[in-house]
Amino acid sequence: MGFFLENLTAKKMLLFVLLMIDIGSSVMMVTGEVYKVGDSAGWTADSNSNYADWASSKTFHVDDVLLFEYNATKDNVILVTLPDFRSCNTSAPLKMYNSGNDSFTIKSGGHYFFTSNFSGHCQGGQKLDVRVLKPSSPPTTPPPSPTTSPSLSPSPSASHAAAGPVESKGVAPSPTQSKGATYDPKWLLVNTLGVTISSLVVLVHGYA
């Protein structure tokens, strides 16, 4: 790494540092909060756990992480649809987790429904409904209204202005313009000096 940095120019080093800062800022921006489901109680079928109250006390956003901690020999986590959540139908989960220490990263706004497919757990109240706020979109600015009426035809001068360089390229220069472009004062000065120097050289050689 040291050899690499020593061979960089100052400008490249500055760009490298700015790039690293930008990448670090991007990582920090996309990292959300981590919420341990149930707090100290964790994810359990204990009748004392009320996950509706737990979820209502939080405000969830996109990129937040739900952490499920539980005894993997006695429980698991499944993501289900709203109808299955309401009826405690655990036979067709959308996703299943069973490691005992599972993380679920929220990717979009909306509702997420979790329960357990261990017998009687959902019916006993081990159900979690997580409502995630959708990212707010920036306000849109309406396009400016045209200043001229569409029924009016543009004047010849306006048409010329709109055409810009495209039309000007097709116009041939006048004889005066051609002459001015050919006989540039700087060119005349250089040409005159060249002729004068050549004449002096000839005169010197002639006298010699």
Strand order in the sheet with 110-115: 60-61, 127-133, 110-115, 77-80, 95-97
d(CA 116, CA 130): 15
Reference 106, options 138, 66, 77; nearest CA is: 66
Q: Which pLDDT does position 207 carry in this prediction? A: 47
CA 95 → CA 113, 116, 117, 165, distances in Å?
Answer: 11, 11, 11, 62
The structure's pTM equals: 0.53
> Which residue stretches of the chain have pLDDT < 70?
1-31, 137-208
Show Cβ contacts of residue 22 under 8 Å, excluding neighbours closer than 6 positions.
Answer: none
Q: Is 96 exposed, middle or buried (0-12, 13-18, 19+ CB in 10 A)?
A: middle
Contact in structure between 51 and 35 (CB atoms under 8 Å) = no
Render pLDDT for 32-85 as a digit per residue (tens, 0 to 9).
Answer: 899 999 999 999 998 777 899 999 999 999 999 999 999 999 999 999 999 999
Q: Pick left, alpha or beta for residue 48 (phi over 0 → left; psi -120 to 50 → alpha; otherwise beta).
A: alpha
Q: How many CA atoms lie within 13 A of 67 on its CB side?
A: 11
Q: Which pLDDT does position 18 carry in this prediction? A: 52
DSSP designation for 102: E
Helix (H) or strand (E) holding 113: strand 110-115
Alpha-carbon torsion (180, 186, 192, 194), positive or negative: negative
